[in-house]
Structure 1
Amino acid sequence: MNHGHDLLKQPIPLLIRKLAVPTSVGYFFNTMFNVVDTFYGGRVSTDALAALSLSFPVFFLIIAIGAGISTGATALIGHALGEGDGEGARRLACQTVSFGLLHGVLVGLLGLYLAPLLFTILGAKGEVLDLALQYMTTIFSGSIFFLVNYVLNSILTSTGDSRSFRNFLVSGFFLNLVFDPWFLYGGLGIPPLGLPGIAWATVLVQALGNCYMAVRVRQSGMLSRFRWRELLPDRRAYWQLAKQGFPSSLNMMTVAIGIFVITWFVARFGSDAVAAYGIATRIEQIALLPVMGMNVATLALVAQNSGARQWERVVEVIYSALRAGIILMACGTAAAFFGAGLLVRLFSSDPEVVRIGISYLRIEAFVFIAYVILYTSVAVLQGLKRPVFPLMIGLMRQIVLPIPVFYLLAVVLGWGLYGIWWGIFIVTWTGALTALYYVIRLAAQLNRREAVSPRPPGEGQG
C-alpha cells in the first residue's frame, strides 16, 4: 500500500512544505476558479454579482458538510496508519466513501428545500433573489459530486498525498475558463444559460473531478481490494466518522452562520456593500491560501504521529506550523493593506463598491495572523481526535460574540460598516488567543507524556 511521504520519520519542516505547498497551490487555483465566476457574474449585472455574494454563505453549507467529513476521515485513517493498522485504514476508507455519498444526497435535498428561506433571511428580494435561487438550485442538484471529492481527498491526504487534489483543482480552474463563458453565453449546441450557466460549469468540473480522484485513490492502494459490499453502512465505522466529522462539520457550519450574520448586517447598507464585501472576501481567501495549506499538513501530520504516539513530533508540528504561518501572513498583511485599492479595482469599477472594499481590507489585513493561530490550533485538535473544543471556539467566534458586538458597534455607536469590520477584528482575535492558550497548555501536557512514556523505536510503523 502506497502511503506517500513517510509522515512518521522525515523532518517535520520538510513534511510541512511537501504537504502544504501542493495544497496551497491547489487552493489558489480553486480561489481563482471562484474569481472567474465572480468576473463573469459581474459581466451579467450588478444584481448577478450581488446574487453570487449572497449565494456564498448558502453554498458554504455544502463546504461545511464536506470539509467536516473529510477532516474526521483524515484524522481516523491517519491514526490507523500511524498505529500500523493498514487493513483498518482501508476499511475506514470504504466506509468514508459511502458516508460521503449518503450525505451528498441529503445535503442536496435539504438545500433545495431550504434555499428560498435562507435567501429571504439574508434579505434577498426581486431580481437578486431570483438569480440567487437559480444559481443555488443547480449547485445543490450536484452537491453529491462536491461531497465525493471531499471524501476521496481525505483518503489521499491521510496517506500524505496532497498532490492529487492539487492536480484536480488546477485542471478544474482551466476547465472553468472554458465552461463559464460557454455556458453563460451559449454556443456549440448549448443555449445561453445566464448566471445558472456558471453553476452548471462548476457542477460539471466537480463531476469530472470525481473520476480523476477515484482513479488516484485506487492507485494509492487504499481501495485496491475494494468490494461493493464494503460500502454498506457499518454501524461502528459510521459512528466513528460521525463522532469526528460532525463536530468538525458543525464547526464549519458556524463559519457559514458567521457569514450569514456578517452578510445580514452588511446587507442593511445596500447591494453595493454586499458586492464590496463579496469581492474583498475573495481577495482575503487568496491571502490566506498558505494558511489553508498548512492547515491540511498539520492535520495529516498530527493524526499519523499521534496514532504512532510520537508526541515529541506532534509538538514540533504545532510550533513549526505556527512559526511558518505567522511569517507568511505578516507578508500577506502588508500586501493587503497597501494594495487594497488596486486589488478591489480588479473586480469592480464602481466607486462606491471600491471605497467600501478598501475600508474592509485595510482593517481585515490585521486579522490574518489571528487566522493562522486559529486554524493551526483547530487542525492540531482535530488531528488529535478532539473536535469538540474547536466547535466551542467556532460557536463563540461566529454566533455568540458577533451579533452583540456588531450591533453595539454598527448600530448603537453608529459606526456603520466600520463597526462590522472592527467587530470582525475583535471577535477573531478573541477566538484565536483563546485557542492558542488551550493548545499551548496541551503541548506542555504532550511533552510531559513523551518524557514519561516515549514511543519505542519502530513500534506501530507498519
Structure 2
Amino acid sequence: MRTHRLGWPAWVRPADIADLLRLSVPIAFTRMSQMLMAVTDAVVLGQYAPGELPYILNSWLPMGVSLGLGLGILLGVQVLTSELLGIGREKESGRIFRRGLWTSVWLGILLMAVVYFSASALFTWLFVDIAPPTEVAVSVDPHTVAESVAGVTRILSYGMVGFMISTVCGYYLEALRRPLLVSAVMYFGVFLNVIIDLALVGGFWGFEPMGAAGVAWATTGSRLLITILLLVAVILLTPAFRKSPASPENEAKRQLSVGTGTAISNVAEWGGFNLTYVIATWISLAANSVYGYAIQIMGLCFMFYLGIATATSVRVAEAYGRRNLTEMRDAGRLGVAATLVMGVALGVVLIVFNNSLAGFLVKDDAVINGVHLASGIAALLVMVSFVTVFDGLQATASFALRAQEIVWSPSLIHIGSFFLVMLPSCYWLGIVEGRGAQGMMEGVFVGVFTAGILQTLLLEWKTARQPSRRAV
C-alpha cells in the first residue's frame, strides 16, 4: 500500500479528507433536513398530541417503502452524472437528468395511486386481522388505529410526485457539486414545515388543531414548495435542458440498473424499519411512542452517515469513471474510517445528553397508559449510541459498492439483515420475551450489526483484496 510521511496510509491524505468533508458536510445537512421534518413533526405532536405519534409512524410503512424504491431507482442520475464530471464531460449530463425526470414523474404517479388506494386494506390487515392479542387490543379499538393511520397515509401520498421530482433535482445538483444550494432549499422547506405544524397541530394563529393529519398536510405542502424551488434551480444553473450528444449504448440500462439494486436495499431497510413500528404498536401505543421517538433520533444521526456515504459514493464513482482502482479503494476506505469517527462522536453525544434530548422530544409529564415517555426514551437513547455506528457502516459501505456498479450483493445483505434477522429479533424480544420497547431496540441492534459488518467486509474484499480486477 502507498504510504505518506509518518507512515500514514495513502487514503488519509489531507487533500482527500478535505474533499470528503467538502462534499459530505453539505450533503449531510441536506439529508438531515429530510429527517428534521420528521423530528419536528414528532416534537410538535409530543407537545400537543403525543398519543397520535403512532399514526404518523405507521403511515410511513407504505410511504417509506415507496420513497425508498424511488430514491434507489433514481440514484442512477447521481452516479452517471458523477462519472461524467470525473472525466470533464458534465455538460453532456442533461440527457441523464431528463431521463431521470420523466422516470420520477411516472413513478411518482404510480406509487401515489398504489399507496392511496391500498392504505385502508393494508392497515386493517395489520392492526385488525393479524395483530396478536396484546395490550393495545384492550386499550384502544384496532379499527380506530387502522383507519386513523390510513387517513394520514392518504394525505402523505399526495406529495409522492413532488418527492420524486425533488429527489432527481437534488441528486443532479449534488453530483454537479452544488450541494449547498440543495441544503439551502431543503432547510427553507424545514422552516415552512414547522410553521405549518404549529398552525395545524398546535392550533396557532386561529387554526383548528388536526393532530397527526395536520402533520401530514405540513409534510405534503412543504414538499411541494421544495420541488418547485429545486426544479427552478436546475433549469437556471445546470445543463439539464441543454442539448446533449447521443447517449452511449446501454447508458439508459446502466442508469436504471445502478439504481435498481439500491431500490431493493432501500425497500428492505425502510420496509424493515417501518415494520418495526407495527410490531411496537402491537405491544402498546406507549411502546410505539417510546421506541418511535428513539428511532427518530437514530434517523437524525443516520443523516450524518448518509452525508459521508453519499460523498464517498461520488468520489468512488468519479474514480470508477477514470478506471483508477487505487483511487476507488482509497475513497472507500476513507469513507469507512470517517464513518467510525463520526459514530464515536455521535455516541458520546447521545450518552451524555440522553435526558436532555428526551425532554426536548416530549413534555416531562407526558404519559401514555401509565408509561412515562421521557424516561423511557432516555434509556433507549443510550443503546441507540451503539446501534447507530453499525447503521452508518452499512450505508457507507453499500454506497461505495454501488458506485462501482456492484449492485446485487449489497442488496442481498440488506434483505437478509433487515427482513430475516432484524424483524424476527424485534418480534421475539419485544413481544415473545416481553421486553417491550427495549426489546425492540435490541432487535434493531442485531439486524443493523449484521448489515454493517457484512457490507464493510464485502467492500474490503471487492476493492482491496483484488486490486488487479475491475469492479463488476
TM-score (norm 2): 0.84
Task: Tell me which amino acid in the other structure corresponds to 2:62.
Answer: V
- Please name the residue that 2:136 is paired with: none
Task: Tell me which amino acid in the other structure corresponds to 2:182.
Answer: F
Runs of 4+ in 1 over 6 A off after TM superposition: 185-191
- Please name the residue that 1:176 is paired with: 193
- Give me the whole-angstrom Cα distance separating, in 2, the residues matched to 1:101 and 1:149: 10
Instruction: Give the CA deviation at 1:154.
Output: 1.3
CA gap 1:365/1:421 in 2 versus in 1, 3 angstroms: same
CA gap 1:247/1:149 in 2 versus in 1, 3 angstroms: same
Query: 2:332, 2:400 within 8 Å by CA — same for their partners in 1?
Result: yes
Query: Is it true that 1:395 corresponds to 2:395 in the alignment?
Result: no
- Please name the residue that 1:459 is paired with: none
Instruction: Give the CA deviation at 1:410.
Output: 4.2
- Give me the whole-angstrom Cα distance separating, in 2, the residues matched to 1:46 and 1:121: 25
- Superposed CA deviations along residues 35-83 of structure 1, whole A, max 9, x for unmatched, are 2212332345333222112223333124302321332221122223334
Matched residue SS, 2:23: helix
- Please name the residue that 1:342 is paired with: 356
Specify which of 42, 66, 70 is matched with residue 70 of structure 2: 66
- Please name the residue that 2:234 is paired with: 217
- Give me the whole-angstrom Cα distance separating, in 1, the residues matched to 2:37 and 2:423: 31
Instruction: Give the CA deviation at 1:196.
Output: 2.5
CA gap 1:410/1:128 in 2 versus in 1, 3 angstroms: closer
Instruction: Give the CA deviation at 1:152.
Output: 0.9
Query: 1:73, 1:151 within 8 Å by CA — same for their partners in 2?
Result: yes
- Please name the residue that 1:313 is paired with: 327
Query: Is it true that 1:384 corresponds to 2:384 in the alignment?
Result: no
Specify which of 261, 264, 267 is matched with residue 281 of structure 2: 267
- Please name the residue that 1:375 is paired with: 395
- Please name the residue that 2:468 is paired with: 448
Query: 2:127, 2:143 within 8 Å by CA — same for their partners in 1?
Result: no
Matched residue SS, 1:123: helix
Matched residue SS, 2:361: coil
Specify which of 338, 347, 350 is matched with residue 324 of structure 1: 338
Query: 2:430, 2:440 within 8 Å by CA — same for their partners in 1?
Result: yes
Query: 2:20, 2:312 within 8 Å by CA — same for their partners in 1?
Result: yes
- Give me the whole-angstrom Cα distance separating, in 1, the residues matched to 2:81 and 2:217: 33
Task: Tell me which amino acid in the other structure corresponds to 1:316.
Answer: D
- Superposed CA deviations along residues 143-172 of structure 1, whole A, max 9, x for unmatched, are 100000001111112222211221111111
Structure 1's unaligned 5+ residue stretches are 1-8, 451-462
- Please name the residue that 2:94 is paired with: 90
- Please name the residue that 1:163 is paired with: 180
Give the aligned length.
438
Any residues of structure 2 matched to 1:95-114 within 5 Å, and which?
Answer: 95-114=99-118
CA gap 1:420/1:205 in 2 versus in 1, 3 angstroms: closer
- Please name the residue that 1:133 is paired with: 150
CA gap 1:264/1:208 in 2 versus in 1, 3 angstroms: closer
CA gap 1:12/1:405 in 2 versus in 1, 3 angstroms: same
- Give me the whole-angstrom Cα distance separating, in 1, the residues matched to 2:465 and 2:253: 28
Instruction: Give the CA deviation at 1:237.
Output: 5.5
Task: Tell me which amino acid in the other structure corresponds to 2:448.
Answer: T
CA gap 1:131/1:226 in 2 versus in 1, 3 angstroms: farther
- Give me the whole-angstrom Cα distance separating, in 2, the residues matched to 1:407 and 1:52: 21
Query: Is it true that 1:149 corresponds to 2:153 in the alignment?
Result: no
Query: Is it true that 1:37 corresponds to 2:41 in the alignment?
Result: yes
Query: 1:72, 1:248 within 8 Å by CA — same for their partners in 2?
Result: no
- Superposed CA deviations along residues 395-427 of structure 1, whole A, max 9, x for unmatched, are 011111124433444455554443332222222
Query: 1:180, 1:201 within 8 Å by CA — same for their partners in 2?
Result: yes
Any residues of structure 2 matched to 1:2-41 within 5 Å, and which?
Answer: 11-41=15-45
Query: 1:47, 1:127 within 8 Å by CA — same for their partners in 2?
Result: no
Instruction: Give the CA deviation at 1:192.
Output: 5.8
* Greater Cα shift, 147-156 or 62-71: 62-71
- Superposed CA deviations along residues 326-363 of structure 1, whole A, max 9, x for unmatched, are 11210211221233232222222325323432343222
Matched residue SS, 1:52: helix
Matched residue SS, 1:447: coil
Any residues of structure 2 matched to 1:223-262 within 5 Å, and which?
Answer: 223-225=240-242, 238-262=252-276
- Give me the whole-angstrom Cα distance separating, in 2, the residues matched to 1:309 and 1:238: 20
CA gap 1:34/1:448 in 2 versus in 1, 3 angstroms: same
- Give me the whole-angstrom Cα distance separating, in 2, the residues matched to 1:128 and 1:102: 32
- Please name the residue that 1:297 is paired with: 311
RMSD, matched Cα: 2.9
- Please name the residue that 2:296 is paired with: 282
- Superposed CA deviations along residues 252-285 of structure 1, whole A, max 9, x for unmatched, are 1111221243223322320000011111111112
CA gap 1:47/1:130 in 2 versus in 1, 3 angstroms: farther
Task: Tell me which amino acid in the other structure corresponds to 1:305.
Answer: A
- Please name the residue that 1:460 is paired with: none
* Greater Cα shift, 61-70 or 145-154: 61-70
CA gap 1:135/1:160 in 2 versus in 1, 3 angstroms: same
CA gap 1:129/1:12 in 2 versus in 1, 3 angstroms: same
- Please name the residue that 1:195 is paired with: 212
Instruction: Give the CA deviation at 1:308.
Output: 1.2
TM-score (norm 1): 0.86
* Greater Cα shift, 76-85 or 420-429: 76-85
Query: 1:48, 1:128 within 8 Å by CA — same for their partners in 2?
Result: no
Query: Is it true that 1:423 corresponds to 2:443 in the alignment?
Result: yes
CA gap 1:174/1:81 in 2 versus in 1, 3 angstroms: same
CA gap 1:238/1:187 in 2 versus in 1, 3 angstroms: farther
Identical amino acids, percent of aligned pairs: 19
Task: Tell me which amino acid in the other structure corresponds to 1:20.
Answer: S
Query: 1:74, 1:303 within 8 Å by CA — same for their partners in 2?
Result: no
- Superposed CA deviations along residues 188-216 of structure 1, whole A, max 9, x for unmatched, are 89766553332222222212112221122
- Superposed CA deviations along residues 430-449 of structure 1, whole A, max 9, x for unmatched, are 22111111111122256335
Task: Tell me which amino acid in the other structure corresponds to 2:270.
Answer: A
Structure 2's unaligned 5+ residue stretches are 1-12, 129-141
- Give me the whole-angstrom Cα distance separating, in 1, the residues matched to 2:165 and 2:14: 30
Task: Tell me which amino acid in the other structure corresponds to 2:391.
Answer: Y
Task: Tell me which amino acid in the other structure corresponds to 1:376.
Answer: T
- Give me the whole-angstrom Cα distance separating, in 1, the residues matched to 2:386 and 2:214: 37
